[in-house]
Structure 1
Amino acid sequence: MRQEHKTFQAIEVGDGGDGRWAAHARGLWREMEGLLTEEGRTPEGADRVRALFRAHMPELVPVLERLAGQLDRPEADVFLTHAALRPFSQACTQIGRNGTLLRNYDLRPDQCEGTIVSSCFLRPVIGMQDMLWGLLDGMNDAGLAVSLTWGGRSVYGGGFAVLIVVRYLLETCDTVDEAVGRLRSLPIAVPQNLTLVDPAKEVTVFVGPDMPPTVAPDACAANHQHLPVTDEQERTMRTQERLRAIRAAGTDVAAMLKPPLYRSADEQGSRTLYTAHYRPVDGRVTYYWPGESWQQSFGDFTPGSRTVTLGRAAVGAGGDRLDLPPS
């Protein structure tokens, strides 16, 4: 199996106004700005997405303005709305159980920012950042954790990329019920599955541009929603197989580091990039790779970087090799 290396970094950015966030974002801007849609580059399209953001995420408007001002790049404020981005899809498997959230994130290594960010835009939040300030998964100081997977359907509509939705929920909500309530008024561009966990509840919600938010049968998700999975989709993504596997394994980190949940490179180069285990009631998250782990918390966040080896799925149980902390 071909192995590949990827560097993950952890940074603190505070409220985004002291230059730390901007220094990081400027280094990514050249590759990010190409993800704006053609409509977003027009004056009319830019005005539309600014208005959409103000209408649906008013609490974050001052943060967006602060970040855009710090970034000081053309079209920065339009990009940061995440309402004019080219659609993208990713694999992933996740489960919420007993107050914890466990997920595998699958994508091509060159398409993942790989930045663990501790921020205090509106409140303390830690998560895996992408697209400059969106989140693939994360937790807040109230004990709420959220992560995403692609919904598996090729539908696209006007609305937000799910990354900013995860950020918005964590910045403004204390509980699962509050977050699910806010989802009902947010337009989302691409079908996605969101798993949400707090100390008392866990749930998965199917969302998309062509459907109202729909609560899933349990707090697990792979890459399908309410419609039947085609044979071709199952062959390429093994979404039903992964969902069965994670339901059986529960929040067993070792199982996430073995097939079928841990995925080696497919035809497009997508593979499992990291496993994240959130314990939001404790304010702790541990990121795992076969043979390596990295813990962060609100009480002890450590900036730095780690270069890890991908494509090396664990063969045995692996618990002793990983030195797993107690859940």
Structure 2
Amino acid sequence: MLWRALSEDQPGPKWAGLFAEYWPAYKRWWLKDGETARPTYLECRQALADHMPELLALYDELCELVGGGDLAARFLSFYNPPAYLSGCSQAIWPGREPVLVRNYDYNASAFDSLILKTNWQGRQVMGTSDGLFGLVDGMNDAGLSISLTFGGRRIAGEGFGVPLILRYVLQTCKTAEEAGAALARIPTHMSYNVTVLDKKRQYLTAMMGPDRPAVITHAAVATNHQENVEWISHARITATVERERFLLHRLTLHRDPEEKFIGHFLKPPLYSTAFNAGFGTLYTAVYRPRKGQMEVRWPGTIWPQSFDSFEEGQRNIHIPGAP
């Protein structure tokens, strides 16, 4: 898999070039249920104005940058997108310098494989891109880090794709408390668990869903269910309960040192090669919000990044079991 890292402070030719490259595949995905299944441009823009008004000017700028097309603008809103599922495990290691660690388990052919650093709206953000506007994990220069896992429920409803919600949190929030308030009020189209950690060691996990209020918890571990397992077959395939128990044991019974704890994410039962089911581990991310540092890891490979020293470039990564 070809991974890239790109830094561009303001939306410009680098980002526009990436969009032109990715757009044909994203367009096919966006229209897979037919164009009428997706909301209109006016509905998308109004939803952003209602729930994430701070992003509206940035959204308009990105739409203009890619040519102002109707379909591209609707896609970039992330409003009521097609359903999509992932695996994923995430946990907070509570040491002196707390760390947010996560595995992203997903389809290898439907992934940006891009580390993106921006300074949009005067807020530095870096993380793993999704849809080039959203993020599946990331951190900002205020020392707030964030990550998502699928919540293990079939129901879909009115709301935003969660990667844009993560972008919004990192663009507008400085603390876990502020992030929790945002996560509690923004509608999501499917169920997700979102974990945040700030530089003051405060953390929370929001269990979000389209059909019920978000539950804000002090959970340090999240896999692919919420308070109870509701989708039994998905839980079995992804071993969500087993992964949660394993992580809780490492945090409570064994008290692993930091590097050993991170290392568990690169081995079973957390590390998955189930790409035939769409849930293979594409990478492990490590966020150190107090230091402004992140790492993307694979077995035998580490790509470190930071706000002070961000390395643009690309790497060809061998991912065990990936097609």
TM norm structure 2: 0.90
The 8 Å contact of residues 207 and 213 in structure 1, kept in 2 or not, is answered as yes
Relative to structure 1, the CA distance from residue 90 to residue 124 in structure 2 (aligned partners, 3 Å threshold; closer, same or farther) is same
Could you tell me how far apart the structure 2 residues matched to 1:244 and 1:68 are? 43
Relative to structure 1, the CA distance from residue 178 to residue 39 in structure 2 (aligned partners, 3 Å threshold; closer, same or farther) is farther
Does residue 171 of the first structure (1) align with residue 171 of the second (2)?
yes
Deviation at 1:45, TM superposition (A): 2.6
Residue 279 of structure 1 aligns with which residue?
A: 288
SS in 2 for 1:311: coil
1:95-139, Cα deviation, whole Å (9 max, x unpaired) = 123332100000111111110000011210000001121000000
1:194-251, Cα deviation, whole Å (9 max, x unpaired) = 0100122111110010121102352210000022356533321100001111222345
1:168-202, Cα deviation, whole Å (9 max, x unpaired) = 00000000000111122211100000010012211
2:29 to 23, 35, 38: 35
| Alignment RMSD (CA, Å) | 2.0
Deviation at 1:309, TM superposition (A): 1.3
Select between 180-189 and 294-303 the one with higher mean Cα deviation. 180-189
Residue 132 of structure 2 aligns with which residue?
A: 132
Does residue 110 of the first structure (1) align with residue 109 of the second (2)?
yes
Residue 322 of structure 1 aligns with which residue?
A: none
Relative to structure 1, the CA distance from residue 39 to residue 180 in structure 2 (aligned partners, 3 Å threshold; closer, same or farther) is farther
Deviation at 1:13, TM superposition (A): 2.2
1:62-86, Cα deviation, whole Å (9 max, x unpaired) = 1111111111152222111100321
Relative to structure 1, the CA distance from residue 76 to residue 233 in structure 2 (aligned partners, 3 Å threshold; closer, same or farther) is closer
Deviation at 1:53, TM superposition (A): 0.6
1:28-56, Cα deviation, whole Å (9 max, x unpaired) = 01111123356865897321121001111
Relative to structure 1, the CA distance from residue 231 to residue 190 in structure 2 (aligned partners, 3 Å threshold; closer, same or farther) is closer
Residues 171-210 of structure 1 mapped to structure 2, 5 A cutoff: 171-199=171-199, 200-210=201-211
The 8 Å contact of residues 117 and 127 in structure 1, kept in 2 or not, is answered as yes
Does residue 68 of the first structure (1) align with residue 69 of the second (2)?
no
Residues 140-151 of structure 1 mapped to structure 2, 5 A cutoff: 140-151=140-151
2:298 to 281, 289, 297: 289
TM norm structure 1: 0.89
1:260 to 246, 262, 269: 269
1:234-287, Cα deviation, whole Å (9 max, x unpaired) = 321100001111222345111111100000125424310000000011100011
Could you tell me how far apart the structure 2 residues matched to 1:36 and 1:215 are? 30
SS in 2 for 1:227: coil
The 8 Å contact of residues 11 and 116 in structure 1, kept in 2 or not, is answered as yes
Residue 48 of structure 1 aligns with which residue?
A: 43
Residue 255 of structure 2 aligns with which residue?
A: none
Gaps of 5+ in 1: 1-5, 314-327
Which AA in structure 1 matches 2:250? A
Could you tell me how far apart the structure 2 residues matched to 1:149 and 1:72 are? 32
Could you tell me how far apart the structure 1 residues matched to 2:26 and 2:39 are? 21
2:79 to 74, 78, 83: 83
Residues 212-223 of structure 1 mapped to structure 2, 5 A cutoff: 212-216=213-217, 218-223=219-224
